[in-house]
Structure 1
């Protein structure tokens, strides 16, 4: 068998003229159905965008969830209703509502979701303040949370410790406050940590005792100095006969110690024993 004869066996059979016409008509009908479906979907979407939202009711209910301790419920409700006023289920801007709520004091995070057909559910998380932050340059007062984030709100209590320092050092100084609090725990509660622009440290306890550490290169150096003092505090009190109210570390190989005003104040002058002149 020749090579040409072998290939001729696998060649396609000729298509009758009527069969070709039928196949072309079938393909044309199939594509016609597809295009018709696409056209119907397009017109349905256009009709919905024009008339559909008019059939939906506006947002009627906004549910606010979360453990809220400091947030003003009236301000939350007003901000939420203002952001959804006149909006329906589909055209309400969830991002705008979330930003409006997160701009309020105490609101750390707001998550918003839709509930068919006319409701929204808002889950709020508040900041938890652990200290008052004061900018050493401007004197501006803010609050700090446990992550070192600064937020603006009215302090809920005067018992919060105060951290005073340069802007941008909030997280670092919060870590310093926590470390120095552990070191000074035997002496009392750390009430004020102040760090100046030149990184000079001043620490004050709740009972008024103040420790001036001066300029330090690291937090570890501050902890070492105060740890040394805490271990010898009782011996210092016993030797002086009183509890110091101010200890200054800025002197080489020496401490400057100040006592209470009643201790260091000079005694009043003695009264004259002579008779008063008339």
Structure 2
């Protein structure tokens, strides 16, 4: 037998009220006009909030400014130009029609933004609170002729960020990072760098560079009075090997004054694997 197809549809508001009336009798019949009136009033209020100028996002006063009723907290590195691009489409629109979920996603796609929270504030304000990414190292990406064009910052999640000169002196250099790596791979390298520095303790604060080009063979750059020394620490016992180097440093400086790279992996001996050229003398 062929099945009959019936289009599914919900009852209209009026039909719903009449259905209640049949179920509960006269009291609901008395309330039906009130329910319909409330629905009409709600629709009018919704329309009023969507169209009245009181609730509209005002136009930005200049190209380098945000709309006056869009207030942003926490934007240190995120530029007004980037923020303006997100909210420009909302100028003249009621704050109640601004899709906050979409704007949050757009903000969190910006380079520096880690997390964004948005709130509507009566009658016509949108508050934005940003949590920006925190750089933990300086990286120089391989390739290209200009070193400055390859310089970046990196955060703990492996996001590459634009270089800021003010940050260069306060962060270690992480070598072994490339743009072609997946972000998760870069994040793992950052985590390894932080693990190395944490294990080295106080000595780790003086280290200017951690080389993880070969993650199984950690190298660090340790500044001294004469020159920066590259120390090969290997894959484990970093603190023990660093302590051995520091304990024997005076003897190393006396016997190997031109050494620029030392291999600390042998528990009984320290080898100079690279020496300074004569033209690089002290």
Q: TM-score range by the shorter chain?
A: 0.5 to 0.7
Please state how far the C-alpha of 1:110 moved relative to its aligned partner: 2.0
Please state how far the C-alpha of 1:63 moved relative to its aligned partner: 1.3
Which of these residues, 126, 130, 145, is aligned with residue 132 of structure 2?
126
Structure 2 unaligned runs (5+)?
1-23, 59-68, 143-149, 177-184
Any conservation in 1 of the 2:245–2:264 contact (CA below 8 Å)? no
The answer for the alignment partner of 2:147 in structure 1 is none
Alignment of 1:214-233 (within 5 A): 214=234, 216=235, 218=236, 221-233=237-249
Q: How far does the alpha carbon of each residue in 1:87-111 deviate from its partner, in whole angstroms, 9 at most, with x for none?
A: 2121111122222222222222222
TM-score by length of 2: 0.66
The answer for the alignment partner of 1:30 in structure 2 is 27
Q: Distance in 2 between matches of 1:45 and 1:130?
A: 52
Please state how far the C-alpha of 1:225 moved relative to its aligned partner: 1.2
The answer for the alignment partner of 1:178 in structure 2 is 197
Note if 1:96 corresponds to 2:94. Answer: no
Larger gyration radius, structure 1 or structure 2: 1
Q: Distance in 2 between matches of 1:176 and 1:168?
A: 12
> How many pairs does the alignment contain?
226
Q: 1:53 to 1:211 in 2, by over 3 A?
A: same
The answer for the alignment partner of 2:119 in structure 1 is 113
The answer for the alignment partner of 2:257 in structure 1 is 242
Please state how far the C-alpha of 1:209 moved relative to its aligned partner: 0.6
Q: Distance in 2 between matches of 1:38 and 1:249?
A: 83
TM-score by length of 1: 0.67
Tell me, what secondary structure is at the counterpart of 1:175?
Answer: helix
Which of these residues, 207, 213, 217, is aligned with residue 200 of structure 1?
217
Tell me, what secondary structure is at the counterpart of 1:212?
Answer: strand
Q: How far does the alpha carbon of each residue in 1:144-176 deviate from its partner, in whole angstroms, 9 at most, with x for none?
A: 34xx22223212133332223453413531322
Structure 1 unaligned runs (5+)?
1-26, 266-278
Note if 1:167 corresponds to 2:164. Answer: no
Q: Distance in 2 between matches of 1:156 and 1:28?
A: 74
Please state how far the C-alpha of 1:58 moved relative to its aligned partner: 2.1
Q: 1:161 to 1:52 in 2, by over 3 A?
A: closer
Q: 1:52 to 1:197 in 2, by over 3 A?
A: same
Q: 1:72 to 1:87 in 2, by over 3 A?
A: same
Any conservation in 2 of the 1:133–1:144 contact (CA below 8 Å)? yes
Q: 1:144 to 1:150 in 2, by over 3 A?
A: same
Q: Distance in 1 between matches of 2:199 and 2:208?
A: 11
The answer for the alignment partner of 2:21 in structure 1 is none
Any conservation in 1 of the 2:200–2:238 contact (CA below 8 Å)? no
Q: Distance in 2 between matches of 1:69 and 1:241?
A: 47
Q: Distance in 2 between matches of 1:70 and 1:168?
A: 21
Q: Distance in 1 between matches of 2:112 and 2:186?
A: 20
Any conservation in 2 of the 1:183–1:230 contact (CA below 8 Å)? no
The answer for the alignment partner of 2:79 in structure 1 is 72
- RMSD across aligned positions (CA): 3.3
Any conservation in 1 of the 2:262–2:271 contact (CA below 8 Å)? yes
